[in-house]
């Protein structure tokens, strides 16, 4: 089974996303065809290298291995990748390929966007999380000790190969992390300005068991739905001037949680799920949504075993982190708030509003 989606950012900026369950032999052929005549630098996570290097047809001297973890998305590793590209003699005609999760895709993408002012870049996400989010849309970045994704570019890949066979080796925590981000799309569907209704909320409700079992055809369909929404958003607003902010639903609080726990306690999707609980609760209390949708929303999260956060963190610290968010203004913190069934709106809250919400 194969689905091909097209991302059209502008008249001459477009690329294809290939979603399939084809055997790795086939994936190898496709990558080979696609990169014919190019030198390739393949940035791969250590875990992915151990699990898949024998399945994938890259030679060891074109692979650059990075250890796993958010802390590796730093300028030292970025420089190492760039230096390696230079040592290998990569020119503007060549390509950097990311094989891994979001960390690998972000740092390799940033390297590709800056090496010789930009060379081709291919994303091969190996986690559900990166398949439904970071591998598409062109955000690349590295972190600074002071914050996540502080240095980065908008740089679209030339091609995205999503092969769901990679997901077989994800542990439950990693898979659920992807589902946290997947659920986000259900709450924002009608704000994405996609031209046909996908009924993702209903699909997630009805197909929960198959999704949890990682049933291949259901998974391909699920990724296709999520990416159709993401493509609709980024093709209308590549650089997050407005519409793209809807993709940050659940992220303001989620990001603060990840930061305060130094990216060690919660996976990204888990933190986003806590963020969704927080803002759904706030929206209901402030009459942005009615009781029936509030209940429906909590039920959907519960169906996937996500629960509201049962631990308190120092409110002032959480607010401090939120104020440093790239999207925050000098005196307001921006939240994407549900304001109706499957729709969201941006709300700018004062520090006091947020402190009050966190304490109550
Ligand atoms: N992860 C949100 C975005 O791509 O804009």
Q: Which superfamily does CATH assign the domain made up of 179-359 to?
A: Dehydroquinate synthase-like - alpha domain (1.20.1090.10)
Query: What's the average model confidence in pLDDT over 319-342?
Result: 88
In whole angstroms, how far apart are CA 277 and each of 90, 222, 228, 336? 46, 22, 24, 12
Ligand 1, pocket-test mutation among 109, 152, 230, 275, most atoms within 8 A of CB? 230
- Decide: 33 and 41 in contact? Cβ < 8 Å: no
% of the chain with per-residue pLDDT over 90: 94
In which element (H, E) is residue 149 found? strand 147-154
Which residue has the CA at smallest separation from atom 2 of ligand 1?
A: 247
Ligand 1 atom closest to 234 (CA): 5
Query: What's the average model confidence in pLDDT over 45-49?
Result: 96
- The pairing of strands 343-350 and 332-340 is antiparallel
In which element (H, E) is residue 109 found? helix 102-114
- Number of Cα atoms under 13 Å in the Cβ half of residue 16: 8
Q: Which of 237-246, 300-309, 323-332 has the lowest mean pLDDT?
A: 323-332
pLDDT beyond 80 at 257: yes
CATH class, domain 2-169, is alpha beta
Query: What's the average model confidence in pLDDT over 275-286?
Result: 98
% of the chain with per-residue pLDDT over 70: 100
Query: What's the average model confidence in pLDDT over 13-30?
Result: 97
What is the pTM (predicted TM-score) of this model? 0.96
Cα–Cα distance for residue pair 233/213, rounded to 1 Å: 29
Residue 252 binned pLDDT confidence (cut-offs 50, 70, 90): very high
Ligand 1, pocket-test mutation among 7, 103, 134, most atoms within 8 A of CB? 134
Cα–Cα distance for residue pair 256/210, rounded to 1 Å: 32
Distance 37 CA to ligand 1 centre (A): 32
Q: Which residues are annotated as catalytic? A: 117, 139, 181, 230, 240, 244, 248, 251, 255, 268
Distance 137 CA to ligand 1 centre (A): 7
Confidence at residue 195, expressed as pLDDT on a 0 to 100 scale: 92
- The mean predicted confidence, pLDDT, of the chain is 96
Confidence at residue 147, expressed as pLDDT on a 0 to 100 scale: 79
Query: What's the average model confidence in pLDDT over 211-239?
Result: 98
Side by side, the strands of the sheet bearing 95-100 are 2-10, 13-20, 159-163, 120-125, 95-100, 40-45, 63-66
Ligand 1 atom closest to 137 (CA): 4
Confidence at residue 334, expressed as pLDDT on a 0 to 100 scale: 94
* Residues 311-321: tens digit of each pLDDT: 999 999 999 99
Ligand 1 atom closest to 139 (CA): 4
With a CB cutoff of 8 Å and minimum separation 6, the contacts of 324 are 146, 147
Cα–Cα distance for residue pair 120/183, rounded to 1 Å: 31
Ligand 1, pocket-test mutation among 103, 106, 125, 139, most atoms within 8 A of CB? 139
Distance 134 CA to ligand 1 centre (A): 6
Distance 322 CA to ligand 1 centre (A): 17
Confidence at residue 330, expressed as pLDDT on a 0 to 100 scale: 72
pLDDT beyond 80 at 325: no
Query: What's the average model confidence in pLDDT over 272-287?
Result: 98
* Residues 75-118: tens digit of each pLDDT: 999 999 999 999 999 999 999 999 999 999 999 999 999 999 99
Chain position carrying tokens 């305060």 = 260
The answer to whether the Cα torsion of 319, 173, 131, 3 is positive or negative is negative
Domain residues of the chain, as ranges? Answer: 2-169, 179-359
Pocket of ligand 1 (CB under 6 A): 133, 137, 139, 244, 247
Distance 332 CA to ligand 1 centre (A): 21
Residue 328 binned pLDDT confidence (cut-offs 50, 70, 90): confident
Q: Which two tokens stand for residue 216?
A: 């291949």
Confidence at residue 324, expressed as pLDDT on a 0 to 100 scale: 84
Confidence at residue 327, expressed as pLDDT on a 0 to 100 scale: 72
Query: What's the average model confidence in pLDDT over 32-46?
Result: 97
* Residues 262-276: tens digit of each pLDDT: 889 999 999 999 999
Confidence at residue 54, expressed as pLDDT on a 0 to 100 scale: 95
């Amino acid at each position: 089974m194969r689905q091909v989606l097209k991302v059209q950012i502008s008249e001459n900026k477009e690329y294809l996303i290939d979603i399939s369950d084809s055997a790795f032999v086939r994936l190898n052929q496709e990558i080979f065809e696609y990169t014919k005549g190019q030198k390739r630098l393949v940035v791969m996570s250590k875990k992915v290298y151990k699990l898949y290097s024998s399945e994938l047809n890259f030679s060891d001297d074109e692979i650059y291995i990075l250890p796993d973890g958010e802390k590796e998305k730093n300028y030292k590793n970025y420089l190492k990748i760039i230096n390696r590209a230079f040592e290998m003699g990569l020119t503007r005609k060549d390509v950097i390929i990311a094989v891994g999760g979001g960390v690998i895709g972000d740092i390799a993408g940033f390297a590709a966007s800056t090496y010789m002012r930009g060379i081709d870049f291919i994303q091969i996400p190996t986690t559900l999380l990166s398949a439904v989010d970071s591998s598409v849309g062109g955000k690349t970045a590295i972190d600074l000790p002071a914050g996540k994704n502080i240095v980065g570019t908008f740089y679209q890949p030339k091609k995205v190969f999503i092969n769901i066979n990679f997901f077989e080796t994800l542990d439950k925590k990693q898979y659920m992390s992807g589902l946290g981000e997947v659920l986000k799309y259900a709450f924002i569907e009608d704000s994405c300005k996609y031209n046909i209704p996908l009924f993702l909320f209903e699909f997630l409700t009805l197909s929960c068991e198959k999704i949890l079992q990682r049933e291949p055809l259901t998974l391909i369909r699920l990724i296709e739905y999520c990416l159709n929404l993401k493509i609709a958003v980024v093709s209308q607003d590549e650089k997050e001037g407005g519409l793209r902010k809807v993709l940050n639903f659940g992220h303001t609080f989620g990001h603060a949680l990840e930061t305060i726990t130094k990216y060690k306690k919660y996976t990204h999707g888990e933190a986003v799920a806590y963020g969704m609980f927080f803002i759904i609760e706030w929206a209901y209390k402030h009459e942005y949504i009615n009781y029936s949708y509030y209940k429906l929303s909590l039920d959907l999260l519960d169906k996937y075993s996500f629960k509201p956060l049962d631990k308190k963190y120092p409110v002032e610290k959480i607010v401090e982190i939120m104020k440093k968010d790239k999207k925050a203004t000098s005196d307001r913190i921006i939240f994407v708030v549900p304001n109706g069934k499957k729709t969201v709106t941006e709300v700018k809250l004062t520090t006091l509003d947020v402190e009050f919400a966190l304490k109550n």
